[in-house]
Chains A and B, each alone.
Chain A
Amino acid sequence: GQQLNQSPQSMFIQEGEDVSMNCTSSSIFNTWLWYKQDPGEGPVLLIALYKAGELTSNGRLTAQFGITRKDSFLNISASIPSDVGIYFCAGHRNRDDKIIFGKGTRLHILP
């Protein structure tokens, strides 16, 4: 089935560092979504992107909808301890299509 290739699978960074993760697909998507999941909780939406080339920020988070519509990235600036968690990319190819998820990027922050 259709997959989103999310990388990296995990990251170990120092507090204060910037983080970048991305998601690619072989198909065109018309919506890209980025979620964060804390332990024991459901995923929470961080940023939604609807237009190719769109760059959207949410505090220290910035995400872009790739111009080819086949990729997206998420950047986190100046990481803090509460950024720890699993980040998922997701998207729709069209309105009645199911949401497709990447396998997630697990972010660890070293003391």
Chain B
Amino acid sequence: DAGITQSPRHKVTETGTPVTLRCHQTENHRYMYWYRQDPGHGLRLIHYSYGVKDTDKGEVSDGYSVSRSKTEDFLLTLESATSSQTSVYFCAISSGTGLVNTEAFFGQGTRLTVV
């Protein structure tokens, strides 16, 4: 299994509170991604990173911010959690070789409930 650890695995938080999810990798891969998964929507990209301090928005980035201060960690922050952010969050990593990006490997997911 690829060395990806998400923490926490489960969290319940109150509306309006900030929440930070952590993704840690031991593979030294360049690319890291945060997705959310909701019924009927598949996997939707929130933010991704293509290097330390290099990040970009995905299709559902509103209300989320990210930081990548070192290769192994990619943090996802919900600045003020809302009930619509109740979801399962997945981190993924991938490496790149030349012009080709390689396959991505996923973490086990974080189930976040905002009450």
Contact = CB atoms under 8 A, between A and B. Distances in A.
A64 B94 CA distance: 21
A98 B100 contact: no
Given A42-B90, A44-B106, A99-B33, A30 B43 contact: no
Nearest to B54: A96
Interface string B91-103: 0101010111111
Interface residues of B, number: 28
B52 interface: no
Interface residues of A, number: 27
Majority-rule SS of B interface residues: strand
Contact of A33 (B41, B45, B98, B103): B103
B94 A99 contact: yes
A45 B104 contact: yes
A24 interface: no
Interface of A: 1, 30-31, 33, 35, 40-45, 48, 50, 88, 90, 92, 94-104
Q: Which 7 A-B pairs have the closest CB atoms?
A: A42-B106, A103-B42, A48-B103, A92-B101, A101-B43, A95-B101, A104-B42
